[in-house]
Chains A and B, each alone.
Chain A
Amino acid sequence: MNIKIANGRVIDPAYLTDRVEDVFIADGKIVARGEAPRGFVAERTLEAHGLVVCPGLIDLAARLREPGFEYRATLESEMDAAMAGGVTSLAIPPDTDPPLDEPGLVEMLCHRARKLNRAHVYPVGALTIGLKGERLSEMAELVESGCVAFSQANVPVVDNMVLMRAMQYAATFGFRVWLQPLAPFLSRGGYAHDGEVASRLGLPCIPTAAETVAIYTFVQLAKVTGAQLHITRLSSAEGLRLIRQARGEGMDITCDISINHLHLSEQDIGYFNPNCHLVPPLRSLHDRDCLRAGLIDGSVNALCSDHTPVDDDGKLAPFSESEPGATGLELLLPLTLKWAAESGLPLTQALARVTSDPARIVGITKAGHLAPGARADICIFDPDARRKITHKGLLSQGKNTPFLDYELPGEVRYTLVEGQVMYGG
């Protein structure tokens, strides 16, 4: 179908453009901007006056809970949430049950996702079989099945020799390795940041050293193996300092943070709010402020939702016994806009962290920007609308987020995937 998006404020972060113009779509692709191509007849026109037109968001971590945790969420429910959030590409961590360590599982996931015909999925394969940190997964096969990178999700590899071998093997093919910096023994049995709040509430802790020791290890192993390293869900100022230092020595390392760590700190735990039970833990205000500054200057490369739907039963338990995680797909855009407004950051720059920058990390070239020829994955939103986050208003099956009852900016009006209007209208 030929679609014209008329009069929108078109923001293309990849090219730092921000101007009111029309966008023309045919055969699932963007064919032109500004002037209609010769002979273009729009079968449908989306009026976008006063709205922002930007690339569909690319989320580096969205747990859809299939296979294995369908009681918490299903592909259907979470794809609806993605569409409502303007998120059109999802990197899927491998911590499903069973984990994504087998080509057949990955093919099934991709097949199920394609049938639903909504957001594109980019599975991140398990680095080791069963995420057990013992035997390497069939990385070459997994990439053929659709994996874009390899990770251990939140399960650290205990044996550093195995980790080094896995990184070496991945580097043989040039595959990306995404690692969560959680040193196994230093993070064991902990639930909150080792700081003032946990000391007062008597919560067992995960010290910042769990992150820095892991980053230091990853950096050294990346150096000797030549693996392409992406560090996921950074939580501390000191961790970011180590990454900057490694880059200063010429290493090409990327990293991301979650929306939760961009806005919240240990203080938000309040009276044991289980919605603030997250991995990694929310750290100090100083850490949060350094991560925010890092996301502005680009030393933190991307912002992700770290979408982890948890059912109510999983959260109705004392803090340390509750399931960690929070829903996030529908909050990624609003929380990006909130951060941009609070930081006085232009939208071209802010939206880059959820579009073109994560696209580079996943290795997506045909989306994440709006140049003619790009896949027409587009998010159209009202930047001035404000919406209160409620249990009812969320489409994700996981209703738990620390941002419940927040009033957040931005409302998605249309989400297009390959030129089809999948949300709104």
Chain B
Amino acid sequence: MRNPQLNDNGELQHLLTLDGLPRDILVAILDNAAPFTEVAEREVKKLPLLRGKSIFNLFFENSTRTRTTFEIAAKRLSADVVNLNVSTSSTAKGESLLDTVDNLCAMQADMFVVRHAASGAPFLIAQHLHQQGRDDIHVINAGDGRHAHPTQGLLDMYTIRHYKRDFTGLTVAIVGDVLHSRVARSQICALRTLGVPDIRVIAPKTLLPTDIEKLGVRVFYDMHEGLRDVDVVMMLRLQNERMNGALLPTPQEFYKVWGLTAEKLARARPDAIVMHPGPMNRGVEIDSSVADGAQAVILPQVTFGIAVRMAVMSMLAV
């Protein structure tokens, strides 16, 4: 089967998932991101790389943070950015996803940054563009359902590399709602590609997908055991609507068993870093003392995120 995110020369055509993304491309994105981190420190935070290009932020699901980071990344590359919150406009009027895409193509878009509540939606768009002969338009998946959030996975890898240098000796734990998390899936794929030998997931059974072991991870239910000697702790966000019901009894109980506290973190290696994709639920998945503590690299993640998104956009559209 043709990998829909690569062109016939094996180069990146779209960024849809980190699952099956060749290692050399993944590393190239991280390498290319490094110089972009310096742009932010300049007086004029702008490069002319994407001057004259039109980038559409096509958000079928609400998001302020992710959309903003993509917007900043595009603007720092001098692209023209249009934000569309489609959840509140055309689909509410009955327009189909692909009708919306066709309309924006007619407006000479160069790139779509897509977020959608259904897994696989950006694949459908990429496939449609190919069938329409519009291989000049690129798609970046900014999060689709539970499936993938590749730029988040990449910025997480960038962060790990920044603090740990080498992936091949690391133990990494991913903690929380793996079942509903597109972030976790992208993280797991990237960590495997980069050669992390011990990837762990820690969660109650109700928040783990079936056969998750087949993705190449070790499953732990107990934080004390799962966090032992890890180098990296990646916390996941627990959505409000999942805190009370058939998946979990209460946020309090979740915090007690799986919330990251200083005491539980002490099981990890002393130089372990703590990550979170944001927005955090303090007192549910993470204690404030840890979130604001010396081991947390949560705000650097945000900063690196812009550089990584600049790298992806420039690799696709230049």
| Same complex origin of A and B | yes
Footprint of B on A, CB under 8 Å? 194-196, 198-205, 207, 270-272, 274, 313, 316-321
The residues of B that contact A194 with a CB separation of less than 8 Å are 210
- On whether the beta carbons of A199 and B210 are closer than 8 Å, the reply is yes
Who on chain A is nearest to B119 by CB? A202
Determine how close the nearest CB of chain A comes to the CB of B139; give it in whole angstroms.
13
Interface contact B118-A199, CB-CB below 8 Å: no
A205–B97 Cα gap in the complex (Å)?
23
B213 to A: closest C-beta gap in Å: 9
Q: Judge whether B212 is part of the interface by a CB distance below 8 angstroms.
A: yes
Given A202-B148, A317-B124, A318-B124, are A272 and B212 neighbors across the interface (CB < 8 Å)? no
Say how far B271's CB is from chain A's closest CB, in angstroms.
32
Which residue of A195, A272, A313, A316 has the most chain B CB atoms within 10 A of its CB atom?
A272
Q: Supply 20 A–B pairs (Cβ within 8 Å), ascending by A.
A: A195-B210, A196-B214, A199-B211, A200-B214, A201-B119, A201-B147, A202-B145, A202-B146, A203-B145, A203-B146, A204-B146, A270-B1, A271-B120, A271-B123, A313-B96, A317-B96, A317-B124, A318-B121, A318-B144, A318-B145
Near A by CB (< 8 A), chain B positions 7-49 give 19
Give 5 closest A-B pairs by Cβ, nearest first: A202-B146, A272-B120, A202-B147, A318-B118, A199-B209
Residues of A within 8 A of B211 (CB): 195-196, 199
The listed residue with most B CB atoms (<10 A of its CB), out of A198, A202, A317, is A202
The answer to the question of B215 belonging to the interface, with a C-beta cut-off of 8 Å to chain A, is yes
Q: Interface 1/0s, chain B 138-151, versus A by CB < 8 A? A: 00000011111000
B residues whose Cβ falls under 8 Å from a Cβ of A: 1, 4, 19, 96-98, 116, 118-121, 123-124, 127-128, 144-148, 182, 185, 209-212, 214-215
* Residue contact A200 to B145, C-beta cutoff 8 Å: no
Chain A residues with CB under 8 Å of B128's CB are 316
Query: Which of the listed residues A198, A199, A204, A317 has the most CB atoms from chain B within 10 Å of its own CB?
Result: A199
Instruction: List, in ascending order, chain A residues with CB within 8 A of B19's CB.
Output: 200
B131 smallest CB distance to A (angstroms): 10
User: Are A319 and B119 in touch, CB under 8 angstroms?
Assistant: yes
B215 touches A272 (CB 8 A): no
CA of A203 to CA of B148 in the docked complex: distance in angstroms?
Answer: 11
Beyond A196-B211, A317-B118, A318-B116, 19 additional pairs, beta carbon < 8 A = A195-B210, A198-B210, A201-B147, A202-B119, A202-B147, A202-B148, A202-B185, A203-B147, A272-B123, A272-B124, A317-B96, A318-B118, A318-B119, A318-B120, A318-B124, A318-B144, A318-B145, A319-B118, A320-B120
Q: Cα distance A215–B209 when bound, in Å?
A: 25
Contacts of A316 in B (CB 8 A): 96, 98, 124, 128
Residues of chain A with a CB closer than 8 A to B146's CB: 202-204
The distance from the CB of A58 to the nearest CB of chain B, in whole angstroms, is: 35
Give the docked Cα–Cα distance between A202 and B146 (Å).
Answer: 4
B121 to chain A, nearest CB (A): 4
Nearest Cβ on chain B to A129's Cβ, whole angstroms: 30
A169 to B211, CA, bound (A): 43
Task: For A270, list chain B residues within 8 Å (CB).
Answer: 1
Q: Which residues of B contact A198 (CB under 8 A)?
A: 209-210
| Contacting residues, chain B, for A317 (C-beta < 8 A) | 96-97, 118, 124
Q: How far is it, in angstroms, between the C-alpha of A317 and the C-alpha of B1 when the chains are bound?
A: 20
Do residues A320 and B118 form an inter-chain contact, with CB atoms below 8 A? yes
CB < 8 Å neighbour of B120 from A195, A196, A313, A319: A319
Contacts of A318 in B (CB 8 A): 97, 116, 118-121, 124, 144-145
A203 vs B179: C-alpha distance when bound (angstroms): 10
Task: Please indicate the chain B residues that have their CB under 8 angstroms from the CB of A204 in the complex.
Answer: 146
**In the complex, which residues of chain A have a beta carbon less than 8 angstroms from the beta carbon of B209?**
198-199
Nearest CB in chain B: distance from A186 CB, A: 12
A residues in contact with B98, CB < 8 Å: 316
Q: Nearest A residue to B1 by beta-carbon distance?
A: A270
Chain A minimum-CB-distance residue to B215: A200
CA A216 – CA B127 in complex, angstroms? 42
Report the minimum CB–CB distance from B296 to chain A (whole Å).
Answer: 27
A205 adjacent to B119 (CB under 8 Å): no
Q: Do A271 and B185 contact each other (CB < 8 Å), given the known contacts A195-B211, A202-B119, A319-B118?
A: no
- Bound CA span A198–B208, Å: 12
Q: In the bound complex, how far is the Cα of B146 from the Cα of A321, in angstroms?
A: 14
Name the distance in Å between B199's Cβ and chain A's nearest Cβ. 14
A272 vs B210: C-alpha distance when bound (angstroms): 18
* Given contacts A200-B19, A200-B215, A316-B96, A321 and B210 within 8 Å (CB-CB): no
What CA separation (Å) do A45 and B140 show in the bound complex? 63
A203→B146 CA distance, assembly (Å): 7
